[in-house]
Each structure stands twice: as structure tokens, then as C-alpha cells.
Amino acid sequence: MNARAVIPVFYVADVDIAVDFYIRLLGFTEAFRSGTYVGLGLGLGKLELHITIPGEPRQIIGAGSAYVICDEVDRYFQKISAAGATARSEPQDRMYGMRDFAVLDSYGNQLTFGCSTEG
């Protein structure tokens, strides 16, 4: 078996509000929708994120987190900031060899965007 991708699923209270946030502020596109389950994409088909309402007690709204490896973060940070997204911090070089920043969606799910500072 060769794994090819992982798709995080974030739980939200209102799918339409979340879809608006991801499309309008972060530049995602809607790939598909099936009722209250929505697939979103970003970039060259490499990043896929799914959002939905919780279906059972262990699925907690706003408890999701994903780290997105990028080729750069500064231009993207400027783009989403200009669109109105509020990041938790500006891009910074980290001791673990990445330059990154994090943003919370409308419900508290966190996406961190990072790129390598090494070569």
C-alpha cells in the first residue's frame, strides 16, 4: 500500500458560513457538495479539505487542525490578509526549520501554512 494523500475533515456549525470563509478569504474552491458535506480545494489539486456538521458526539466543532506544506507563505499571507482573513500571527521563521503562520476558520479550526527555511 502506498498512501497518496490525507484529507482533514473539519466540523462546523454552519456549512454555508464555513464555505464562504474558505472561498472568499482563503481562496479555496468548492470541489463537491453532498448535503452538509463539502469538499474544498486549494492550489494545484494538492490540498483538499472537507467540512461538515458533526454527526456524533466525538466530532467537535472547531477542534480541527491541519498543517499545510507550501512553496512559500509570505505572498499567500498578504493575499488572505488583504481579503480580510485574520491570522493568529504573521509568518515567522521557526526553530523547527519552517516559516509559517496559522489562521482560524469561523469556528476555530486551525490551518497552519508553512514552507521550509532550509534550502
* pLDDT greater than 70 at residue 43: yes
C-alpha 10/C-alpha 12 separation (Å) is: 7
Q: How far apart are CA 91 and CA 21, in angstroms?
A: 20
Residues contacting residue 44 through CB under 8 Å, at least 6 positions apart: none
The stretch 7-20 carries a mean pLDDT of: 97
User: Rg for the chain (alpha carbons), in Å?
Assistant: 14
Phi, psi of 24 (to 5 degrees): -70, -40
CATH number of 9-116: 3.10.180.10
Averaged pLDDT, 15-28: 96
- Domain locations in the chain? 9-116
Going by their DSSP bridges, the two strands 92-93 and 65-69 should be labelled as unpaired
List, in sequence order, every residue forming a beta bridge with 116; answer none if it has no partner. 98
Render pLDDT for 55-95 as a digit per residue (tens, 0 to 9).
Answer: 999 999 999 999 999 999 999 999 999 999 999 989 999 99
pLDDT in tens, 52-65: 999 999 999 999 99
